[in-house]
Structures are given as C-alpha cells and as structure tokens.
C-alpha cells in the first residue's frame, strides 16, 4: 500500500507491515502452514483526500472497510463509490486505489492477508462478489475486531502475538461474511414482510389464503406464518381480516354504500358472514356501527347549533 505522502507522521503511526522474514518463519509453523496470515494492517481516521491507498499489483488479498464518510475505489475496470458501512475484498494482483471524497472526511480500515487457505475461501465463499463495495447490515463489531488485530501486532512480532492476530482474522472474516449474511437475510425477511402487508392492502377485495400470499413472496406457508407472527403478533389471515374490517369502517363512514356492497368490496360474498366478522372485531354489527356514526354526527350538529344560539 502507498500513501500520497508516505513520510507523513499520521500515516507512519497507523500502519503495520509484517516483515517477510517473520511471515516465512510463521508459515514454517505447522499450525499456520495451511492457514491465513496477515501481511499488513492500517487505518485512517477522519482523513481527507490527501490520504490514498493504492497498489498497482498487490500479491495479497486486500480487505478494506469504510467506517465513516465516503470516497471511491478505482480498480482496473471500474470506479466504485464507497460509503460508510461498506467493505471490499480484492483478489491478489488487482490494481486498486482508494481515496476519500474531496468534501468528506472518512475513516477506513484495511488489511492484507495471504495463505494457502485464502484461495480455498475465495472459491468456497465466492469472495469475488465482494470485489465491489458491499453493504454491512451488522457492523458494530467490525472496528473492534480490527483494533484487536492492530493492537496485538503493535505489541511486537512474537509468535504469540502473530498467532493471536491471525486467529482474529478468521473472526473478522466471519463477521463480514457469515454474520453479515445472516443480518442481510433478516433485513430481506423484514422487507418482504412489509411488501406482503402492502400486497394484502392492495387485494382487500380478494379472498387470499396463507398459501397464496406466501407463494407470492417465495416462502413456504409455515415459514411465512412464523415470521409474520413474530413481526405483528397476529397470523397473516387474522391481520388480513383486520385490514378488511378497517377498510369496511372507512366505507361505512365515508360512503352511502349498503352493507352488501361494502362486503363485496372487502372480499366477502356473504354479507351475513361479513357482518359476523365485523361484529367480532369491532363489537358492533355494520348496521349498528353506521347508526352510531349517524347519532354522533347529529349530536355534533346539535352541539354546534346550540353553541351558535347561545352566542
């Protein structure tokens, strides 16, 4: 990695490069022979665009995490904007250059790693997907994981320190890839549940089933029902029925439709069954609800008239 001003005191204090001789000695150790190992780690905190990370052909994998601010990454083929809570993992020999936005202070952390296991990880975990900025949905532990590695290497290159730092590299990759994937799936579920509720609202005139809603969003009916109840406290059908009755209340309030017509608009062919469901949820039949609305309107009108007479 290079910096625009490599003699700058800021840069010197925030980068650690593990000497090749140390790494060669480490790799001879049976425990690390087929493992991952860190060759460099560093960070910028609230840096401006005077600081740039660039490499024409790095022999190692490069992991970069943007904690705050924004900037961009340039590779041989493309330029990517990079913002807070995004990371990239670049394969060896790739040209790359990271630089902050001229109008933004940014904080980034990076490390380089190698080892026989790295190529296996690339293939089994499809690391190529992270060769462009990838969002983090659970980033609270990332800075701490970087700091553990950096602090350990800053204490010296004793085998114990190197070993502990490299074991923490596995933890960092786990946070970035596995836990982040889990968080991404949770967010995806949240988004799809919201979409399913919107789907219900758009189809109040239909008689939807759990199976038909779940199928619309590529869930099994049992998994969808479980997720939905965790989110809302109701089963999908109970929630759908309440949406229907809520809409029926609005129609009773704002229209002159009769009960049979309202029932049809909210997906009930049988007005008597609709009335039973309405009373079960609201506590009054549709006719009683409508009559109560009329009484309240009359009371409001009389109240206004009495106020006008008194004044």
DSSP 8-class letter at 2:
B
Instruction: Please report the pLDDT score of residue 238 as a whole number.
Output: 95
CATH number of this structure's domain 9-184: 2.60.120.280
Is 203-311 a CATH 1.10.10.60 domain? yes
Residue 73: name the closest of 89, 93, 57 by CA. Answer: 89
Residues 66-122 pLDDT 10s: 998 988 888 888 899 999 989 999 988 888 888 888 888 888 999 999 888 888 888
Give the H/E segment covering residue 211: helix 210-216
pLDDT tens-place string over residues 240-257: 999 999 999 999 998 889
Task: Write out the residue limits of the CATH 2.60.120.280 domain(s) in the chain.
Answer: 9-184
* Cα 93 from Cα 114, distance rounded (Å): 12
187-234 residue pLDDT tens: 566 778 889 999 999 999 999 999 999 999 888 999 899 989 988 899
Distance, in Å, from the CA atom of 109 to the CA atom of 142, rounded to the nearest integer, reads: 10
pTM, full prediction: 0.57
* Tens of pLDDT, residues 114-163: 888 888 888 777 788 888 888 887 667 889 999 999 999 999 988 888 88
Residue 255 per-residue DSSP state:
-
The four Cα atoms 22, 24, 28, 31 give a dihedral, to 10 degrees, of 60
Whether the predicted pLDDT of 44 surpasses 90 = no
* Ranges for all domains in the chain classified under CATH 1.10.10.60: 203-311
Spatial strand order of the sheet with 106-114 comes to 15-17, 37-47, 106-114, 61-68, 86-90, 134-135
């Amino acid at each position: 990695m290079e910096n625009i001003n490599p003699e700058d005191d800021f840069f010197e204090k925030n980068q650690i490069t593990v000497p090749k001789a140390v790494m060669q000695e480490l790799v001879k150790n049976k425990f690390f022979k087929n493992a991952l190992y860190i060759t460099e780690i560093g960070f910028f905190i609230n840096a401006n665009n005077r600081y740039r990370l660039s490499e024409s052909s790095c022999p190692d994998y490069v992991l970069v995490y943007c904690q705050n601010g924004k900037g961009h990454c340039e590779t041989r083929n493309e330029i990517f904007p990079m913002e807070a809570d995004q990371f990239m993992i670049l394969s060896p020999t790739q040209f790359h250059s990271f630089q902050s936005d001229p109008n933004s202070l940014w904080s980034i952390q990076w490390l380089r790693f190698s080892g026989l296991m790295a190529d296996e990880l690339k293939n089994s975990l499809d690391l190529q997907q992270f060769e462009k900025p990838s969002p983090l949905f659970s980033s609270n532990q990332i800075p701490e994981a970087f700091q553990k590695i950096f602090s350990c290497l800053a204490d010296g290159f004793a085998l114990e320190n190197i070993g502990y730092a490299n074991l923490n590299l596995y933890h960092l990759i786990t946070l970035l890839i596995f836990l982040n994937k889990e968080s991404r799936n949770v967010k995806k579920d949240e988004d799809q549940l919201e979409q399913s509720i919107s789907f219900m609202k758009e189809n109040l005139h239909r008689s939807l089933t759990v199976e038909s809603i779940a199928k619309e969003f590529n869930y099994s009916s049992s998994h969808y029902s479980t997720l939905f109840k965790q989110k809302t406290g109701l089963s999908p059908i109970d929630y759908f029925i309440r949406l229907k009755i809520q809409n029926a209340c609005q129609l009773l309030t704002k229209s002159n439709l009769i009960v049979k017509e309202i029932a049809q608009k909210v997906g009930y062919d049988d007005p008597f069954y609709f009335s039973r469901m309405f009373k079960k949820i609201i506590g009054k039949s549709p006719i009683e609800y409508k009559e109560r609305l009329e009484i309240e309107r009359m009371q409001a009108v009389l109240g206004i008239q009495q106020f006008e007479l008194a004044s």
